[in-house]
Amino acid sequence: MAEFTLRLRRYDPESGEAAYWDEHTIDLEPHRSVLEGILQARARFDGSIGIRCSCRAAICGSCGVRINGQPALACHTHLDQAMKGARDGVIEIEPMGNMPVLKDLIVDMDAVHWKKVRRVTPWLINKEPIPEREYIVPHEAMVDVTQSMACIQCGACVSDCLSMEVDPLFIGPAALAKAYRFVGDPRDAQHSERLNDLAQDPHGIYDCTHCFKCIEACPKGVAPMSQIMRLRRISGRDHGIVDANNGERHEIAFTNLVRDHGLLWEAELLPRSYGGDSWLAKFGPAAGRELLSSLPVIGKALLRGKVTPMGALKAHKLPDEDLQQVKRIYATVEGRDEAERYELNLYISGYDEDMEGAEGPPPDAAAAGAQGGDGGMAGAESGQPGQSPERSPSR
């Protein structure tokens, strides 16, 4: 047994009082969870502490909180582990971010998280005609979507999403990972419609700023940002969707500027994102309008020394030898046959141990598992993020 002090963020919107910190010291073995610590504090000192939980086994997704400033499942964080991140020897526990607090550590998931999940049509719209028995799905396709199927809807990624902080209407990491679950499913009939909807929405796939926060936050290795990047690639490259938000053009301009100059030429990025991937883009009406409306920001950047007039007019210079190396990387990647494009799925590697030694998976095994929709979690649970990667074909 050891003593741990918990500092809990308390808030009851109905009381009219401001939020405050509340400290309790509990006795538990160090390997017990932060959730058990909170429940002990509630049982021993204050029955009014609000915390939501159910499974206590990192499955139901109910106990999402922030521990020492980081989103986590309270039932999946050991007390000794939490102590390592405690600033002054006290474990600090707060409600998740980006969602209104209902009471103490309980946030309103319905107002934000579930609303956004409903936004992406979170069910399969099956192809017609419906086969007499079952849809046969390639094994690789199911491995690919298993990563997004592993989501337990805890909201940790939503809590830490920087884009959502700036734009609360952003569809967000969890809902977009859910969208990939259906865009990646060969049985779904509306890939193009789904992608077009998410690309054209100003709060959709191009609203993500690649901050990686959702990848760090997710306790299940879903890597929502990676799912968003897949949605973008499939939308732009495979379905040729050019979005009204200039997201696709922005990505093309970004990668081509780095290819041509070895480093990003920021001053060219804006006009090319709006006017197309050429030096002449700045004379296009869309780019001109955007440049004009950005003048106050550009002026401030110049005044604060973040941009210099010379830096804006001339591209950064990379030594020729280094530039050739950058170009070689591009040539290798761009020289690949599109049909042979591979993406790394870091979530699942190989087959279940039970199947090792068997003659290999039956070709229809994935199809049979797929029939249960999101129910095929056994495979997802056995795979751990960060294991050796499997190459899985993208669509």
Least Cβ distance, residue 98 to ligand SF4 (angstroms)? 10
- Tell me how far apart the alpha carbons of residues 387 and 273 are, in angstroms, rounded to a whole number: 37
Least Cβ distance, residue 54 to ligand FES (angstroms)? 5
21, 123, 212, 283: residue in contact with ligand SF4 (rule CB under 6 A): 212
73 binds ligand FES (CB under 6 A): yes
156 binds, among ligand FES, ligand SF4, none (CB under 5 to 8 A by kind): ligand SF4
142 binds ligand FES (CB under 6 A): no
63 binds, among ligand SF4, ligand FES, none (CB under 5 to 8 A by kind): ligand FES
Residues 222-241 binding ligand SF4 (CB under 6 A) are 222, 224-225, 228
- Tell me how far apart the alpha carbons of residues 25 and 38 are, in angstroms, rounded to a whole number: 10
With both helix axes pointing from N to C terminus, report the angle between 224-233 and 191-200 in degrees, rounded to the nearest 10.
110
Query: Are 267 and 315 in contact, with CB atoms under 8 Å apart?
Result: no
67, 218, 270, 370: residue in contact with ligand SF4 (rule CB under 6 A): 218
6, 208, 270, 370: residue in contact with ligand SF4 (rule CB under 6 A): 208
Tell me which residue of 147, 143, 145, 154 sits closest to 117, measured CA to CA.
154
199 binds, among ligand FES, ligand SF4, none (CB under 5 to 8 A by kind): none
Residues in contact with ligand SF4, counted by CB under 6 A, come to a total of: 28
273 binds ligand FES (CB under 6 A): no
First CA to last CA distance, the chain: 53
59 binds, among ligand SF4, ligand FES, none (CB under 5 to 8 A by kind): ligand FES
Tell me which residue of 118, 123, 120 sits closest to 188, measured CA to CA.
123
Beta bridge partners of 10: 20
Residue partners of 317: CB distance under 8 A and separation at least 6 = none
155 binds ligand SF4 (CB under 6 A): yes
Least Cβ distance, residue 96 to ligand FES (angstroms)? 13
User: In the block, which residue shows the tokens 């053009």?
Assistant: 249
Reduced to 3 states, what is the DSSP secondary structure of residue 305? coil
149 binds ligand SF4 (CB under 6 A): no
Reduced to 3 states, what is the DSSP secondary structure of residue 150? coil
- Tell me how far apart the alpha carbons of residues 187 and 161 are, in angstroms, rounded to a whole number: 30
Tell me which residue of 76, 39, 184, 71 sits closest to 124, measured CA to CA.
184
75 binds, among ligand SF4, ligand FES, none (CB under 5 to 8 A by kind): ligand FES
Q: Cβ atoms within 10 A of the Cβ of 233, count?
A: 15
181 binds ligand SF4 (CB under 6 A): no
162 binds ligand FES (CB under 6 A): no
55 binds, among ligand FES, ligand SF4, none (CB under 5 to 8 A by kind): ligand FES
101 binds ligand SF4 (CB under 6 A): no
Least Cβ distance, residue 374 to ligand FES (angstroms)? 16
- Tell me how far apart the alpha carbons of residues 246 and 281 are, in angstroms, rounded to a whole number: 13
59 binds ligand FES (CB under 6 A): yes
55 binds ligand FES (CB under 6 A): yes
Distances in Å between the alpha carbon of 275 and those of 252, 261, 269, 278, 283?
12, 19, 10, 8, 8
User: In the block, which residue shows the tokens 């030096």?
Assistant: 279
75 binds ligand FES (CB under 6 A): yes
Reduced to 3 states, what is the DSSP secondary structure of residue 392? strand
116, 181, 213, 249: residue in contact with ligand SF4 (rule CB under 6 A): 213
Stretch that binds ligand SF4, among 3-11, 209-217, 243-251, 348-356 (CB under 6 A): 209-217
Query: Are 6 and 48 in contact, with CB atoms under 8 Å apart?
Result: no
Angle of CA points 146, 206, 151, to nearest 5°: 25
| Residues found near ligand SF4 in the complex (CB under 6 A) | 151-157, 160-163, 173-174, 177, 208-214, 217-218, 220, 222, 224-225, 228
| Residues found near ligand FES in the complex (CB under 6 A) | 53-56, 58-63, 73, 75
